[in-house]
Structure 1
Amino acid sequence: MGKVTWGFTASLDGFIAGPGHDMSWLEDLAAREHEAHSTEGAGLEDGVVEALAGEVGAIISGRAGYDAALAQRDQRGELTSEAYGGAFSGTEFILTHRPEELAEDPAVVPLDCHVTEAVRRAREAAGAKDVQIISADIARQALEHDLIDEMQVFVAPVFLGDGTRIFEVPGGRRVDWELVGAIPGAARSLGRVYRPRR
């Protein structure tokens, strides 16, 4: 059985999306990086995105991110319109309290359940591959239940000032992490893997 991972690219000031789940900043950075270095963009060497996507058998994402991707589909480029820029080929689960509204979308499996059940079902679908959480809120819930094995972090050289924070808990909550190592091919984006210190 694979790991449950939480993966994201964050701005230097700790946001994974701008206001309204805006991802244009990541598209802009990737385009500039591609022009300057002839790589896949966003500080990644060729083949890194495909290699990371190949390890993932299921994704868990949130309804707000799903809705934003649909609403912004005309503004989003290849990198942020689909998971792993379209390189992902597993099952995507969307946690929502209104699953019937997504019943017509064959690309996703809507779930209305507790995060522990969502992770269980995603693990089952992923088989020997990893489960990737791509929602800050769902990751926070999963951390509360000790469900995350690893965190994959990429850093983008930009300040956003507002948006979706990496980790936000009213009143605060400390979670300690230990460095596992660098992500090969992601040196320019400071790609790192951490695991919770248990």
Structure 2
Amino acid sequence: MGTLLYSATMSLDGFIAGPGGDMSWLKPYIGPNPEVAELITGIGALLVGRRSFEGDDPNRGTEAEGKAFGGGWEGPQFVLSHRPPAADVPGVRFVSDLAQAVTEAKAAAGEKAVNVIGATVARGCLDAGLLDEVAVFVAPVLLGGGVRLFDRPDGPSVRLERISHSAAPLATNLRYRVLY
């Protein structure tokens, strides 16, 4: 099976969303990035937190709104939630147990990666020893507050092994393997 990968664009001061989950800050930093394009082609399924699934969209008001990676990816999505919606959402399965959600997403992804979207789900995967890799695209901006990439007060340190790093016009790309 493929890897469990957490990817996010992050401000230089460590935030992936602004205060209140605002994603509009990201708009000026969405642009050509070969690392992101390569990452997208390697994704077989998404594992998404409920707040991220229902949250703000940097593509709000465009035809890319509500589409994964701005419409650059399509496939099965697994949303971790204890409150599934009343109506089914096409292509989306709501799962309440983290281990079950990871197992189902990995089965759906086959040899490709499961991309984790959402800081809380990523932290849960890390704490459970399930997360394989982290890809961070650092944008040249200081947000000053919001949702951190990883917020683990008093959590144990986790060693990472660098897989790659590169520069793109709008971000610095970092990719790490998680060492448990």
Normalised TM-score (structure 2): 0.88
Match of 2:93 in 1: 109
Match of 2:15 in 1: 15
Label 1:29 to 1:80 Cα distance change in 2 as closer, same or farther (>3 A). farther
Percent of residue pairs bearing the same amino acid type: 40
Distance in 2 between residues matched to 1:148 and 1:74, nearest whole Å: 27
Match of 2:83 in 1: 98
Distance in 2 between residues matched to 1:191 and 1:5, nearest whole Å: 14
Which residue among 58, 63, 66 is the counterpart of 2:53? 66
Cα offset, 1:149, TM superposition: 1.1
Structure 2's unaligned 5+ residue stretches are none
Structure 1's unaligned 5+ residue stretches are 31-40
Match of 1:153 in 2: 136
1:84 maps onto 2:69 in alignment: yes
Distance in 2 between residues matched to 1:25 and 1:165, nearest whole Å: 14
Which residue among 33, 39, 42 is the counterpart of 1:44? 33
Deviations 1:132-174 (A, max 9, x none): 1011111111111211111111001111111111111233431
Secondary structure of the residue aligned to 2:103 is helix
Distance in 2 between residues matched to 1:24 and 1:81, nearest whole Å: 14
Label 1:63 to 1:27 Cα distance change in 2 as closer, same or farther (>3 A). same
Instruction: Answer whether contact 1:6 1:133 (CA < 8 A) is retained.
Output: yes
Secondary structure of the residue aligned to 1:180 is strand
Secondary structure of the residue aligned to 2:94 is strand
Cα offset, 1:11, TM superposition: 0.3
Greater share of strand: 2
Normalised TM-score (structure 1): 0.81
Match of 1:176 in 2: 159
Deviations 1:66-122 (A, max 9, x none): 2214xx5883556774222211122111111111x1533214211111x11111110
Distance in 1 between residues matched to 2:68 and 2:59, nearest whole Å: 16
Match of 2:117 in 1: 134
Count of aligned residue pairs for this structure pair: 180
Distance in 2 between residues matched to 1:76 and 1:140, nearest whole Å: 30
Greater share of helix: 1
Superposed CA RMSD in Å reads 2.3
1:26 maps onto 2:15 in alignment: no
